[in-house]
Amino acid sequence: KELGLVPLGYLRSYAFTAIDVWQDMLLGPAWSTPLALERAGLTMSDLTLIDMHEAFAAQTLANIQLLGSERFAREVLGRAHATGEVDD
């Protein structure tokens, strides 16, 4: 405020998850994103920017696909619905 700067965004929530590295290695964001959104009271459609800092493009694409998967949400995460599609 003293410098006259306006924040570009706020950190409202975060989540850490532990997963089985033999089955779900590199898929941590698909596990932690639904939890962080729930804690913040948000959905994917509330977001204007998603930054997934991962090592490989294929890893990011796999996580994005799982976030929109109803089957993954029900059978793996035990949730009623998928977190949501990521818009292009």
Task: Give me the number of domains the chain comprises.
Answer: 1
75 inside domain: yes
User: What confidence category does residue 25 fall into, taking pLDDT thresholds of 50, 70 and 90?
Assistant: confident
Average pLDDT, stretch 24-46? Answer: 91
Average pLDDT, stretch 8-36? Answer: 88
15 inside domain: no
Contact 30/59 with Cβ under 8 angstroms?
A: no
Q: Going by C-beta distance under 8 Å and a sequence separation of 6 or more, which residues neighbour residue 40?
A: 12, 13
Distances (CA, A) of 6 to 2, 25, 66: 10, 38, 34
59 inside domain: yes
31 inside domain: no
14 inside domain: no
4 inside domain: no
Distance separating alpha carbons of residues 58 and 6, to the nearest angstrom: 35
Q: Going by C-beta distance under 8 Å and a sequence separation of 6 or more, which residues neighbour residue 44?
A: 37, 67, 83, 84, 85, 86
User: What confidence category does residue 52 fall into, taking pLDDT thresholds of 50, 70 and 90?
Assistant: confident
2 inside domain: no
Domain around 55: 43-88
